[in-house]
Structure 1
Amino acid sequence: MKSIWGSSREDQNDTASDRASGRNSLNVERDSAPPNEHTRLLPNRVDSTTYLSPDDPAVSPYNLWSIRITRYFTILFTLATLVWWTIILVSTFVTPPGFYIRGSGFFPFSYASLTLANLLFTLLFFAIPSKAVRIASLVFSGLLFIDAIVLISVRQTRYEEGWVGAFVMAIWTLATDRLVEWGKYEEEERLTGRAETRRTLAEWAAVLISTTSMVILAAAVLLMTCTLFLRALDAGLAAPGKLYLVDGDKYRLHVYCRGNRTDHTGSTLPTVLVEGGEGPVEDGLWSFANNAIKNGSISRYCFVDRPGFAWSDTAPSPLSVGMVVEAIDEALARAGEDGPWVLMSAGIGSIYSRIFSSRHGDNVKGLVLIDPLHEEYLNDIGAAGRGFILWLRGIVSPLGLDRVPGALFKSQSKEDRVWGRSAYQAGKYIFTRLQENLVADSLSKRDVASSRAIQAQGVPLTLISSGAHIRQDSKWEERQKDMSHLTHNLQHWDIVNDAPHQVWKTLEGRELIEKRLQQLVH
């Protein structure tokens, strides 16, 4: 019996030994196996035969390599978007070679900002997927898809802004959130026995913040979509003149001329070159010039929209007054317009006319400056605070906070938005004024000083000032008097008592301007 029991114990010991060696061999085989989709971050704890607590750190979607590699790619896309966002931001002030956009540049900046915000929120709440976030992200992506279709299908928007890469990143973040939810479900079911439906207070707060953020982003894209539809409608408004490429074919300027070069006797008469003030020529001076032709005060006129005004493209930054005049000169040459000229300008437009006059010598037969801006006021135009406000206005301009309600509730027309009052709310116009601000007290001031030094002194000069403006600003009269000495051939200096800064808006102002133009032209 002893031998039987002894052999039995030996057999049991051998069996236990065999099992232990079998487990060891299985462990070795498992440890030496290559990692797969279910490779865990904490193998020693996860390999337990019992289920883990849902709060255990080992229960994480990061256990899956597909989740980890998706996160790495999201980080890479975020860094690339940040670089692109920085380039667009810098190009507003100094345009790098090859990054010129013929539109305002604010739309691409807005899309880059939205994409960057979307990617950052995705990374911040990467491991906390939410159905509400996916719904908002789906709306966000759908609106961006509509924007991409509008931008690509409409020739003008495609020419000015290009394609929307934000749509691709929106699809990526949407797919990422869905993938993380799947990974979270898989790991919870495998490691805890069931998918976790509860959330901690911190997780609920994260879901609330991420959902709110996505709703805000979707609302911003909705407003941008409305603005894009307005721009697509406005693209159907044909320019009255022709567009000519300038500055090495970088951008186009709109040139419009009307009238006859000769009078009824066959004599060649000067063409009146009209330069607008703070806004486009079309907004005020265009109708004045047409009436002057009807009344016989002038025989012919031309105007060139400055970069960013009406139908003209924007120009690369920086852009000084002298650079604009060079572009205007080139556009007129390409249009076959070579003068002789009588220059008529108002407000800040007088600075452009003065530089144009100084560079054309005897080909300029007269200067009519309507309540002109003196170069000393370029300090105010170039103020840093003013530039910052313009930049902020430009950043929010793609939302169309003024233009969209105007179109919906005030029946604003295409003309209003292209060159009328609503045009002052457009990104192109704001961008041009910002460019004007950036170099007003440096490059532009130098251009004006140079023009004054080389101005032909025999050019007939007529100065027409606003009486209301003089009464409001005592220094304004002193500056007007200084400009009466721009040449040695001052013909008239008229002060229209009741006229505002835009003198032609009063009957007395219009009649006086026509009279002075007629004297210079005929």
Structure 2
Amino acid sequence: MNRVTLKLALAGLAGVLGAVPFAVGAAYQRSQTRKDDRELPGLGELVTVDRHAIHTCRLGHDNEGPTVLFESGLSSPLEMWTWIQGTVAVSAPTLSHDRAGVGWSESGPLPRTAERITAELELLLESLAEPGPFVLVGHSYGGMLLRHFAQRHPDKVAGVVLVDAAHPEQLTRSARQRLGLPLMRNSVRSSLFWSRFGLGRRTRKRPESQLDGLPEPARATTLARMMGTRNWVTTEAEVDAWLSHVIDETKDTRFSSGVPLYVLTAGETAQADPVHLQLQQELAELTDTGVHQVLPGVSHLGILCDQTAARHTAAVVLEVVDAARAGRAPKLVDPEPTTDQH
């Protein structure tokens, strides 16, 4: 064997050997995803909507309406609402769901525009025989999506709660969020790439520190869903659609006059970015009954996952439910000391 042939052979062998860890990791990821789906199924049920299985959780449906409809943020399974939905369901009917491709739901068609996501939500509500009206509760990116739903169905909106919700102008007006966008996109792409080879399952550090306030089995189930490749494929698609479509689709939307609106802001987010605080106040001005409250010492995810913070968020939702039933504006809910440290 001459020197050139030997070099080519060694290079080929190195390539094969270098690919082995990735092949093993990919096999491990597929095996663990099947195991999670078997041992940690979603906390709700799968409903077929337009040939896709959508994960939904309905609680408290023997109670008086309006129904509380929860919409999650980017990459967040419905189990993130466990503390809040369980508390609200004692007094009102509730419905949470995983958008197509998120959590335990099957993937949906691209692009993931607000128009498409709203249409899928409409089909889900029709399939579940949920005519409304609804108290819309949206966290983060979910708040923007519910604005689009409310614009299309003002007659179905009994009230709104925006939980540290995204604002369509946050990237143009907040230098902090604009500068953080490339880091966020790189994080999503990195999570997607390494999820294909099971790396996140071996470390689990990033999502675990944000979710450990959830009760079991919601915490384990949420973590399992966030280890799945499908969840990150969808997150990347939703981020792309957010920048290319959803901002324009939602920037001019408002809520109908008289609709009870409560904007709840995470204190840590507001403290880190004063522009975010200003934008949150503007969200409260989307109707003439809006109120705004900052929950001190609470993080963007802690407002859902920390038990004490989530108890306050649930109290806010119930206040808007009561306001909708009574036909009045919502009142501020006194906060209790929180324990969120994230």
TM-score by length of 1: 0.54
SS of 1:429 mapped into structure 2? helix
- Cα deviation digits, residues 49-90 of structure 1 (max 9, x gap): xxxxxxxxxxxxxxxxxxxxxxxxxxxxxxxxxxxxxxxxxx
Are residue 308 (structure 1) and residue 123 (structure 2) matched?
Answer: no
- Contact map agreement 1:306 1:324 (CA 8 A) in 2: yes
How many residues were matched structurally? 307
- Contact map agreement 2:66 2:321 (CA 8 A) in 1: yes
SS of 1:428 mapped into structure 2? helix
SS of 1:314 mapped into structure 2? coil
Are residue 493 (structure 1) and residue 292 (structure 2) matched?
Answer: yes
Task: Tell me whether 383-392 or 350-359 shows the greater mean CA deviation.
Answer: 383-392
**C-alpha spacing 1:217/1:350, structure 2 compared with 1 (3 Å):** same
Alpha-carbon distance in structure 2 between the residues aligned to 1:226 and 1:416: 22
Find 1:254's aligned residue among 47, 55, 59: 55
Counterpart AA for 1:485: E
Partner of 1:333: 126
Partner of 1:161: none
**C-alpha spacing 1:374/1:225, structure 2 compared with 1 (3 Å):** same
- Cα deviation digits, residues 457-501 of structure 1 (max 9, x gap): 2211011112222111110111011111111222x3212222222
- Contact map agreement 2:266 2:298 (CA 8 A) in 1: yes
Partner of 1:113: none
Are residue 349 (structure 1) and residue 152 (structure 2) matched?
Answer: no
Alpha-carbon distance in structure 1 between the residues aligned to 2:167 and 2:203: 37
Of structures 1 and 2, the one with the larger relative CO (CA 8 A, separation 6+) is 2
Give the fraction of aligned pairs with identical amino acids, expressed as a percent.
20
Partner of 2:152: 359
- Contact map agreement 2:71 2:97 (CA 8 A) in 1: yes
Alpha-carbon distance in structure 2 between the residues aligned to 1:278 and 1:388: 15
Partner of 2:188: 390
Alpha-carbon distance in structure 2 between the residues aligned to 1:414 and 1:283: 9
- Cα deviation digits, residues 422-479 of structure 1 (max 9, x gap): 5334311211121122222231112103533xx3222110111122221111101110
Are residue 403 (structure 1) and residue 196 (structure 2) matched?
Answer: no
Are residue 369 (structure 1) and residue 162 (structure 2) matched?
Answer: yes
Partner of 2:110: 317
- Contact map agreement 1:369 1:463 (CA 8 A) in 2: yes
Computing the radius of gyration from Cα coordinates, the structure with the larger value is: 1
Identify unmatched segments of 5+ residues in structure 2.
323-342
Partner of 1:476: 276
- Contact map agreement 1:304 1:328 (CA 8 A) in 2: no
Alpha-carbon distance in structure 2 between the residues aligned to 1:220 and 1:271: 46
- Contact map agreement 2:54 2:106 (CA 8 A) in 1: yes
Give how far 1:397 is off.
2.4
TM-score by length of 2: 0.79
Find 1:442's aligned residue among 244, 248, 263: 244
Give how far 1:520 is off.
2.5
SS of 1:463 mapped into structure 2? strand
**C-alpha spacing 1:386/1:232, structure 2 compared with 1 (3 Å):** same
Give how far 1:205 is off.
1.3
Give how far 1:406 is off.
5.3
